[in-house]
């Protein structure tokens, strides 16, 4: 027995028209805001906003610019780039937003919304296909790792925002090399990206390279060289030179500013890579232990980052994007596709390069040997590629027939199901919760929160002994390495300013006050040990000693 339902093709085409008339572009902002608010609410109610150790550091850097014993822009330091911290400043002014981490969530959330808009706009600009552009937006906006990271005070989302906006304008320039305005906007947002994370440096360098390539396409250049067509070469050189100079003047200015900053404030233009606080220096201990698998090993570097992207994107979107990437590579209708592919692979090249040269490290359980001390660290670097994944998923979607599109959407939804059954995990959340990137919560933190009354606290914030935001101290009551001359004086005369001293085994305070017999005597004269654990000691000023 069979039941039949028929519909005329005319009616169908009317429905199709109605569907196409839905203003999907107008849904982007409200949907992105809705997703951001829900995700941040979940992170907030589950106390997941400041899970990363770095998350609190970012909040504290911003806070110190306005509230510190020595407040000012010098508090920005010389390791992390300043823009994300500057963006947080208006929000960390309010103690509640600073302590809850919401100050950072607002910045990341804002960046997420703008990124979502530009993921949509970039794809739409290239394809004029509304539905596929919407798919690109959804792949990016509903990525659970992106959603989690946009609820934290980390710097990935601001970078993605500047990366996407710069890429959007740069792609407009690629499509129309006479469009100087777009090139200037690309440079402007490239400038902001270069002051957000070091990935941004690669972005502007690659953009500059593409400007040159646009004027010297491989085939035409070889032909011109063969034919000794100097006129063509010279003419193109002049145009390229002008555009590169115009682009680089603004785009590279951020890099220049940062080098000058390092030189003026910290005495070394390359402080960010040479100092003992830099990521490169931190990798040395891994290297000494033989736990830097991608160092000088290009295949491992490629493998580690590819798997990190897979894990951030989810296995199914990753595989779809891979197919989309291959399809796009053979999509001859777009003669600029190779430049666009280069643009979208900048985060990939950057991360592979930094791992290869030992500037950074990623540990991901999929491929990290279980014999390593840690198998989960820095996996969040993979979310930089989510806009790229979104782009190629949408491209495959656009180039598929109805059945193919149904399969793609089903697989994307199935990926969400895989998260719910525990097959896939939100790897960035896992890193912040149980990985090496997580903020430690020692017992001492709970103790000091309960017993701290008032007064200046001396601690080595770099060692992250206890959380400042969680312990209830005012930022103005903290002396740490960035408070010149209070820090230096306190390491010789601990009693001069501090009422409380918190030290962790082998941190700077421990080494200077406890390991040094001279200062140790002074320490015990003016302070009494109020809290003891194998790793952390807390001293409180004696009330009756002057």
CB closer to another protein out of 133 and 308: 308
By CB under 8 A, which span of 47-55, 187-195, 229-237, 305-313 interacts with another protein? 305-313
Is the separation of the CB atoms in 431 and 380 below 8 Å? yes
Residue 18, C-beta contacts closer than 8 angstroms, at least 6 positions apart: none
Q: Which of 365, 438, 505, 524 binds another protein (CB under 8 A)?
A: 365
By CB under 8 A, which span of 4-12, 123-131, 186-194, 203-211 interacts with another protein? 4-12
Does 299 bind another protein (CB under 8 A)? Our answer is no
Q: Please, is 150 exposed, middle or buried when counting C-beta atoms within 10 Å of its C-beta (0-12, 13-18, 19+)?
A: buried
Region 450-469 residues binding another protein, contact defined as CB under 8 A: none
Give which of 75, 76, 74 is closest to 84, Cα–Cα: 76
Number of residues located near another protein, criterion CB under 8 A: 26
CB closer to another protein out of 7 and 333: 7
What's the closest the beta carbon of residue 365 comes to another protein, in angstroms? 5
By CB under 8 A, which span of 161-169, 306-314, 431-439, 533-541 interacts with another protein? 306-314
Does 310 bind another protein (CB under 8 A)? Our answer is yes
What's the closest the beta carbon of residue 183 comes to another protein, in angstroms? 40
Give which of 138, 129, 133 is closest to 120, Cα–Cα: 133
Give phi and psi for 456, each to the nearest 5.
-75, 140
Does 322 bind another protein (CB under 8 A)? Our answer is no
Torsion of CA 385, 387, 392, 393, to 10 degrees: 110
Separation between Cα atoms, residue 180 and residue 170, nearest integer Å = 10
Residue 480, C-beta contacts closer than 8 angstroms, at least 6 positions apart: 459, 460, 461, 462, 487
Q: Which of 2, 26, 228, 546 binds another protein (CB under 8 A)?
A: 2
CB closer to another protein out of 202 and 348: 348
| Contact map string, positions 325 to 364, toward another protein, x by CB under 8 A | ----------------------------------------
Tell me: cis bond preceding 73? Omega within 30 of 0 counts.
no
Long-range pairs of 71-75 with CB within 8 A, sequence gap ≥ 24: 74/265, 74/482, 75/482
Give which of 123, 107, 202 is closest to 387, Cα–Cα: 123
Does 311 bind another protein (CB under 8 A)? Our answer is yes
CB closer to another protein out of 366 and 542: 366
What's the closest the beta carbon of residue 313 comes to another protein, in angstroms? 11
Is the separation of the CB atoms in 395 and 133 below 8 Å? no
Give which of 158, 167, 239, 257 is closest to 204, Cα–Cα: 167
What's the closest the beta carbon of residue 425 comes to another protein, in angstroms? 8
Q: Please, is 95 exposed, middle or buried when counting C-beta atoms within 10 Å of its C-beta (0-12, 13-18, 19+)?
A: middle
What's the closest the beta carbon of residue 8 comes to another protein, in angstroms? 5
Q: Which of 180, 212, 302, 418 binds another protein (CB under 8 A)?
A: 418
Give which of 190, 206, 202 is closest to 253, Cα–Cα: 190
Encoded tokens for 491: 């390491």
CB closer to another protein out of 269 and 303: 303
Q: Which of 303, 489, 516, 541 binds another protein (CB under 8 A)?
A: 303
Separation between Cα atoms, residue 203 and residue 444, nearest integer Å = 43
Encoded tokens for 326: 């291959």
Give which of 40, 149, 16 is closest to 97, Cα–Cα: 40
Does 321 bind another protein (CB under 8 A)? Our answer is no
CB closer to another protein out of 184 and 367: 367
Region 424-453 residues binding another protein, contact defined as CB under 8 A: 424-425
CB closer to another protein out of 191 and 377: 377
Three-state SS at 532: strand
CB closer to another protein out of 135 and 309: 309
What's the closest the beta carbon of residue 314 comes to another protein, in angstroms? 8
Residue 35, C-beta contacts closer than 8 angstroms, at least 6 positions apart: 141, 142, 147
Encoded tokens for 417: 């199901």
By CB under 8 A, which span of 3-11, 60-68, 93-101, 208-216 interacts with another protein? 3-11
Encoded tokens for 427: 């790897």
Q: Which of 1, 21, 218, 288 binds another protein (CB under 8 A)?
A: 1
Give phi and psi for 363, each to the nearest 5.
-115, 125
What's the closest the beta carbon of residue 350 comes to another protein, in angstroms? 21
CB closer to another protein out of 367 and 530: 367
Q: Which of 41, 94, 234, 423 binds another protein (CB under 8 A)?
A: 423
CB closer to another protein out of 9 and 228: 9
Does 90 bind another protein (CB under 8 A)? Our answer is no
Binding site for another protein (CB under 8 A): 1-10, 12, 303, 307, 310-311, 314-315, 365-367, 418, 421-425
């Amino acid at each position: 027995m069979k039941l039949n339902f028929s519909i005329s093709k005319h009616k169908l085409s009317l429905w199709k028209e109605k569907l196409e008339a839905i203003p999907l572009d107008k849904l982007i902002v409200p949907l992105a805001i809705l997703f951001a608010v829900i995700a941040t609410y979940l992170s907030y109610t589950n106390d997941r906003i400041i899970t990363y150790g770095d998350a609190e550091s970012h909040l504290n850097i911003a806070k110190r610019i306005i509230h510190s014993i020595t407040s000012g822009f010098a508090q920005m330091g010389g390791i992390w780039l300043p823009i994300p911290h500057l963006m947080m400043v208006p929000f960390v002014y309010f103690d509640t937003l600073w302590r809850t981490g919401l100050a950072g969530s607002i910045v990341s959330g804002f960046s997420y919304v703008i990124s979502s808009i530009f993921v949509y706009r970039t794809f739409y600009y290239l394809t004029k296909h509304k539905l596929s552009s919407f798919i690109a937006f959804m792949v990016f906006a509903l990525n659970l790792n992106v959603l989690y990271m946009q609820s934290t005070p980390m710097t990935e989302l601001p970078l993605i925002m500047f990366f996407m906006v710069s890429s959007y304008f740069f792609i407009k320039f690629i499509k129309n090399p006479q469009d100087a305005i777009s090139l200037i906007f690309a440079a402007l947002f490239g400038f902001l990206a270069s002051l957000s994370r070091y990935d941004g440096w690669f972005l502007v360098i690659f953009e500059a390279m593409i400007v040159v390539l646009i004027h010297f396409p491989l085939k035409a250049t070889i032909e011109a060289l063969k034919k000794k067509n100097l006129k063509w070469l010279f003419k193109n050189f002049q145009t390229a030179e002008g555009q590169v100079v115009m682009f680089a003047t603004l785009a590279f200015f951020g890099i220049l500013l940062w080098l000058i900053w390092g030189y003026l404030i910290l005495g070394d233009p390359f402080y960010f890579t040479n100092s003992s606080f830099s990521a490169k220096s931190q990798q040395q201990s891994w290297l000494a232990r033989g736990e830097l698998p991608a160092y000088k090993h290009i295949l491992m570097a490629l493998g580690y980052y590819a798997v990190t992207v897979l894990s951030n994107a989810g296995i199914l979107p990753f595989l779809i994007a891979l197919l989309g990437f291959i399809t796009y590579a053979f999509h001859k209708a777009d003669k600029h596709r190779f430049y666009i592919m280069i643009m979208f692979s900048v985060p990939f090249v950057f991360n592979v390069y930094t791992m290869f040269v030992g500037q950074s490290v990623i540990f991901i359980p999929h491929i990290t040997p279980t014999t390593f001390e840690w198998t989960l660290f820095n996996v969040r670097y993979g979310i930089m590629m989510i806009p790229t994944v979104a782009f190629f998923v949408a491209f495959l979607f656009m180039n598929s027939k109805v059945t193919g599109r149904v399969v793609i959407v089903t697989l994307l939804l199935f990926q969400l199901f895989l998260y719910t059954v525990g097959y896939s995990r939100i790897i960035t959340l896992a890193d912040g919760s149980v990985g090496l990137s997580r903020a430690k919560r020692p017992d001492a933190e709970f103790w000091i929160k309960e017993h701290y009354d008032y007064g200046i606290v001396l601690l080595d914030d770099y060692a992250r002994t206890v959380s400042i935001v969680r312990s209830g101290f005012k930022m103005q009551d903290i002396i740490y390495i960035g408070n010149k001359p209070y820090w230096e004086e306190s390491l010789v005369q601990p009693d001069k300013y501090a009422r409380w001293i918190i030290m962790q085994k082998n941190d700077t305070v421990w080494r200077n006050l406890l390991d040094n017999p001279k200062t140790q005597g002074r320490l015990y004269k003016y302070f009494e040990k109020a809290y003891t654990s194998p790793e952390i000691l807390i001293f409180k000023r004696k009330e009756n000693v002057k």
